[in-house]
């Protein structure tokens, strides 16, 4: 589904990603871990097409298409979803309005039926159950005045509504208490199926207790330095990231 080849990216002239290679197939859950500043979030933003990040080398194929030449909104309509670490507030625009517009844009893009406000309300009600959200959230402005946990749940709700092929969750566990973490993780699990893929970007192993990854990739200084199965995450939890710095770099990770 997704193939990243030798990806280099920089922001304000500073090179952050220095040759990332990663392949994600349908049905897989990948965890990208690494210390602060290793480039995890940059990778997520580059996949979504954040304008501040410049890709200087390499390519990204999504379902065989060159993802990098698509604008962020087209990527989204093609099925790439990113859950933001810090979801943005949009004053005056209700959650329902916003989501219906996004939903219909995608439907239009796929040549499928658009929903009127009433039909969409039913859909939204259904999806809101997945993240245990109250109906009242739908009429409130997007993320405005939401608590940290509510914002993250709102991200998963959007994921549920937009039904992406590839979901990139950027530090979705940060700032969540245990209950909110459970709701969010269960939401992600419920939404997952063999035709979809998930990339979890996370600093801590905690989230992986709830969402079991098939593969774990460790990022350091813009490169993948170690890869393995879910047990790698536990190892990291135990030893921290420091031991990676001591030369045990898996040079040229595949």
Rg (CA), the chain: 18
71 binds another protein (CB under 8 A): yes
Tracing tokens 């080849």 back to the chain, one arrives at 5
For 33, the enclosing helix (H) or strand (E) is strand 29-33
**By rule CB under 8 A, what string of x and - marks binding of each residue 91-110 to another protein?**
xxx---xxx-xx--xx--x-
- CA–CA distance, 11 with 128 (Å, rounded to integer): 36
| Residues 70/47, Cβ–Cβ less than 8 Å | no
Q: Quick one: 61 or 74, whose CB is closer to another protein?
A: 74
Q: How many residues bind another protein (CB under 8 A)?
A: 32
72 binds another protein (CB under 8 A): yes
154 binds another protein (CB under 8 A): no
Of 7-15, 27-35, 45-53, 184-192, the window that binds another protein (rule: CB under 8 A) is 45-53
158 binds another protein (CB under 8 A): yes
68 binds another protein (CB under 8 A): no
81 binds another protein (CB under 8 A): yes
89 to each of 18, 51, 141, 148, how far by Cα in Å?
A: 32, 18, 8, 12
User: Which one, of 234, 69, 86, lies nearest residue 174 by Cα?
Assistant: 86
Q: Can you give the binding site for another protein, defined by CB under 8 A?
A: 48-52, 71-73, 75-77, 81-82, 84, 87-93, 97-99, 101-102, 105-106, 109, 141, 158, 162
């Amino acid at each position: 589904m997704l193939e990243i080849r030798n990806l280099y990216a920089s922001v304000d002239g500073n090179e952050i990603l220095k040759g990332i290679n990663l392949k994600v197939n349908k049905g897989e859950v990948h965890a990208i871990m690494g210390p602060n500043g290793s480039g995890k979030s940059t990778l997520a933003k580059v996949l979504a097409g954040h304008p501040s990040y410049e890709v200087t080398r390499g390519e990204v194929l999504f379902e065989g298409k060159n993802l990098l030449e698509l604008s962020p909104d087209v990527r989204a309509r093609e099925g790439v979803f990113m859950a933001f670490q810090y979801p943005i507030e949009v004053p005056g625009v209700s959650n329902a309005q916003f989501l219906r517009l996004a939903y219909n844009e995608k439907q239009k893009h796929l040549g499928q039926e658009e929903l009127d406000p009433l039909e969409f309300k039913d859909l939204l009600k259904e999806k809101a159950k997945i993240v245990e959200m109250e109906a009242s959230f739908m009429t409130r402005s997007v993320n405005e005045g939401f608590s940290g946990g509510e914002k993250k749940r709102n991200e998963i709700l959007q994921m549920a509504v937009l039904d992406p092929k590839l979901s990139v969750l950027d530090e979705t566990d940060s700032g969540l208490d245990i209950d909110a973490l459970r709701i969010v993780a269960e939401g992600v699990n419920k939404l997952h199926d063999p035709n979809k893929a998930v990339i979890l970007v996370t600093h801590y192993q905690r989230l992986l207790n709830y969402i079991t990854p098939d593969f774990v990739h460790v990022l350091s200084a813009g490169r993948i330095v170690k890869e393995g199965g879910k047990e790698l995450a536990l190892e990291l939890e135990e030893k921290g990231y420091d031991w990676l710095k001591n030369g045990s770099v898996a040079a040229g990770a595949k």
